[in-house]
Structure 1
């Protein structure tokens, strides 16, 4: 059993430092933001989860994660020293990680461009149909 308190339990009086969100942790760790939860699990970092409630037919609310600041600082040193085994695809400081990030962004931008082109084509056809 780990020697860490329950992440859902109340904070002790001396623990008044706010928990860090994903962007703040991504700035401290050389890990892609998509894989922060996995890296935090490997480094024994306490995580609080907010949101994610069911909206019935409309899916679920967005889920947000906050990380314990002391655990994040401890894990940052461990990650930098290589004591935490993180796959190279998850990292931002490896060629595999940079390549995965590049292709992920490329696919997103290509999808947006195709959807915009399709929208403009349909809009043009609708205007052409109205004019003729």
Structure 2
């Protein structure tokens, strides 16, 4: 396993290339965006994490990740050649991964439709009660 510096280690001053966000990495790797941090860990890619701090009773703030550009390019080659073990449900180029992506989008859309229907039902009942 290649050695990579600690993610918290300061970067050299000569590095000027900006770190990549999740969408940019998802374009380079055949990995679903939700699983990019896990895949980056398996490929020894340096990752910076922002947010995620506790909000007490209100849960946690969203967590954002940025990825080292040189490590991402190196890992893209390793992933394409199959040298990095990534579960098939994490990938976008396998039937399992495409099926998981389809069902997660389906559940999201179904949830949105149910919430919208409930809102319209409540508004309809409010209007009916006001008119009656």
The number of residues matched between the two structures is 132
1:91 aligns with 91
Q: Would you identify which runs of 4 or more consecutive aligned residues in structure 1 move more than 6 Å? A: none
Q: Distance in 1 between matches of 2:8 and 2:24?
A: 21
Q: 1:116 matched to which residue of 2?
A: 116
Q: Give, in angstroms, the shift of residue 2 of structure 1.
A: 5.7
- TM-score normalized by structure 2? 0.94
Structure 2 alignment gaps of length 5 or more: none
Distance 2:46 2:62 in 1: 20
RMSD: 1.3
Partner deviation per Cα, 1:73-123 (whole Å, 9 max, x = no partner): 000000000111111111001111111101100010001001100110111
Give the gaps of 5 or more residues in structure 1: none
Instruction: Report which stretch shifted further, 9-18 or 35-44.
Output: 9-18
| C-alpha distance in 1 between matches for 2:74 and 2:125 | 59
